[in-house]
Amino acid sequence: MLASIIPSLVACPSLSTLLPTLAQEAGTASSPADLKIWAYAGFVLLVILFLALDLGVFHREAHEVGFKEAATWSVVWISMALLFAGFVYFGYERHWLGLGLNVPMYNPSTEPGAAKIILGEVTGAEATKQYLTGYVIEKSLSMDNVFVIALIFGFFAVPNRYQHRVLFWGILGALIMRAIMIFVGAELVRRFEWILVIFGLFLVLTAVKMAVVKSEPDPSKNPIVKLVKKYMRLTEFYDGQRFFTKRTLPVEYAEVEGKKVALPAPPGTLSAKWAATPLLLALVLVEVTDLIFAVDSIPAIFAITPDPFIVFTSNIFAILGLRALYFCLAAMIEKFRYLKPALILILAFVGAKLLLLSVPPYIDDVASWVGMTVEPMKAVKIDTIVSLGVVVGLLTLATVASILRPLPDPKKG
């Protein structure tokens, strides 16, 4: 193997052509399952690099994120997600690191009795469609998350300059939680196909609940907040962007060279024990909120594909851009009056898509159980490109309708 790689090192003019060559050479020595571990490891390292640059370089000092900066970062994250779509295409098409081989996929056959999930080969074009559809669905559903995050920040009166720090650590925790949920979900779907029926019903019921229930969540009544307040010492003031403090009095600031600088704590005002600041409570609620939304969004992506690599990467890229999306939309989210109805329809659509695929094989069993005889039914498989068109179309229609028919200005009665 080494003898075949050395000529590649000499012949490849750039790193972009070297990496695929190495991946193809390595494919002759390892199984696809072993190689895919390196694909996951490489993706995780890429995400860690992004986060390190974000917090350690671009947002080292706390500052208020303006619309222009947020819009720029939104473009950056979306561009990175689209560039990764190119990697998905070539990776699956040329089977770099075993991608596209022995992949869990929904069976093209919809005949009664056929297994719903099989292992097969996925082309680059199909994998890219699945990745983009999953990314758009997760991105659209995360917009609803923006409503709740804005409510949390407003309730705790989190200063604008500290909001990015809360979102950074909140999203870092969300990445870990979602990774666990995705791989557990993928294994459950592979072992128990009837889980797809549960996912579909859950999505449809969630859509109905969103359409019927109009109440806003109250952060003060959240059981997690009550638990934290019960077992942790808390302050009622902020200590900069710290989650914990030993101060017993609010921080005083002074202007130094045009910058607002926190003054040292006066003598005798430091406690021997640490206490949590309201910033920690905001972080805890952001984490809980994302966990709740992940329960909706992850089954929605499994409606597109059971391939854990596509589900994982599309979900993570959508979440990476959530901070920038929040700062772009937080100030004008209320103006998109038709966004929530569009999200409800998207959830209902992907839930129905999953039910059409998963329910028909069980209808005959249920009929036999109640003493009826019915003709075996074929599963209905909605094409990925149709799903992508429906999701993008609903979001576009909601945006255009919100612009054409904005909410009336309350100041004008």
Contact yes or no for 111/378 (Cβ under 8 A): yes
Q: How many CB atoms lie within 10 A of CB 301?
A: 27
113 in the same domain as 25? no
Which has more pLDDT, 216 or 168?
168
pLDDT at 308 over 90: yes
pLDDT at 413 over 60: no
Which has more pLDDT, 186 or 31?
186
* Range 139-173 burial, b when 16+ CB lie within 10 A, else e: bbbbbbbbbbbbbbbebbebeeebbbbbbbbbbbb
211 in the same domain as 99? yes
148 in the same domain as 14? no
Residue 147: predicted pLDDT: 77
Which has more pLDDT, 78 or 412?
78
Percent of the chain with pLDDT over 90: 39
The answer as to whether 153 is a domain residue is yes
Residue 265: predicted pLDDT: 86
The answer as to whether 265 is a domain residue is no
54 in the same domain as 136? yes
- Residue 144 CA to residue 148 CA, distance in Å, equals 7
Structure tokens at 298: 């992850």
Q: For residues 173-200, give the mean pLDDT.
A: 91
- Residue 34 CA to residue 105 CA, distance in Å, equals 19
Residue 124: predicted pLDDT: 97
Contact yes or no for 358/196 (Cβ under 8 A): yes
Average the pLDDT over each of 29-38, 89-98, 353-362 and give the range with the smallest value. 29-38
The answer as to whether 57 is a domain residue is yes
Residue 356: predicted pLDDT: 92
Kindly tell me the number of DSSP H helices and DSSP E strands found in the chain: 14, 6
- Residue 345 CA to residue 204 CA, distance in Å, equals 9
Q: What is the DSSP string of 185-233?
A: HHHHHHH-TTHHHHHHHHHHHHHHHHHH--PPP-GGG-HHHHHHHHHS-
The answer as to whether 400 is a domain residue is yes
Q: For residues 304-311, give the mean pLDDT.
A: 95
> Which residues are 117's β-sheet partners?
106
Those residues whose C-beta lies under 8 Å from the C-beta of residue 25, and which sit 6 or more positions away, are 1, 4, 5, 8
pLDDT bin (cut points 50, 70, 90) of residue 44 is very high
pLDDT bin (cut points 50, 70, 90) of residue 295 is confident
100 in the same domain as 20? no
Percent of the chain with pLDDT over 70: 85
Distance (Å) of CA 384 to CA 137, 185, 193 = 12, 20, 20
The answer as to whether 390 is a domain residue is yes
DSSP letter, residue 61: S
Contact yes or no for 145/290 (Cβ under 8 A): yes
The answer as to whether 1 is a domain residue is yes
The answer as to whether 266 is a domain residue is no
- Residue 107 CA to residue 119 CA, distance in Å, equals 9
- Residue 396 CA to residue 289 CA, distance in Å, equals 26
- Residue 325 CA to residue 74 CA, distance in Å, equals 6
On the CB side of 302, how many CA atoms lie within 13 Å of its CA? 31
* Range 349-385 burial, b when 16+ CB lie within 10 A, else e: bbbbbbbbbbbbbeebeeeeeeeeeeeeeebeebebe
Q: What is the pLDDT of residues 364-381, one digit of tens each?
A: 666 667 667 667 678 888
Residue 368: predicted pLDDT: 66
Residue 5: predicted pLDDT: 37
204 in the same domain as 55? yes
Q: In terms of residue numbers, what domain contains 6?
A: 1-30
155 in the same domain as 75? yes
DSSP letter, residue 234: B
155 in the same domain as 12? no
- This prediction has a pTM of 0.84
Q: What is the pLDDT of residues 139-155, one digit of tens each?
A: 888 877 887 888 888 88
Q: What is the pLDDT of residues 74-93, one digit of tens each?
A: 899 999 999 999 999 999 99
Residue 11: predicted pLDDT: 44
Residue 373: predicted pLDDT: 65
pLDDT at 382 over 70: yes
164 in the same domain as 42? yes
Structural domain count, the chain? 2
332 in the same domain as 198? yes
100 in the same domain as 53? yes
pLDDT at 226 over 90: no
Strands (E), 237-361: 244-247, 253-256, 259-262, 270-276
Average pLDDT, the chain: 83
Q: Which of 58-67, 130-139, 158-167, 316-325 has the highest mean pLDDT?
A: 130-139
pLDDT at 116 over 90: no
Residue 102: predicted pLDDT: 92
40 in the same domain as 6? no
The answer as to whether 248 is a domain residue is no
pLDDT bin (cut points 50, 70, 90) of residue 65 is confident
Q: For residues 249-267, give the mean pLDDT.
A: 82
Residue 32: predicted pLDDT: 67
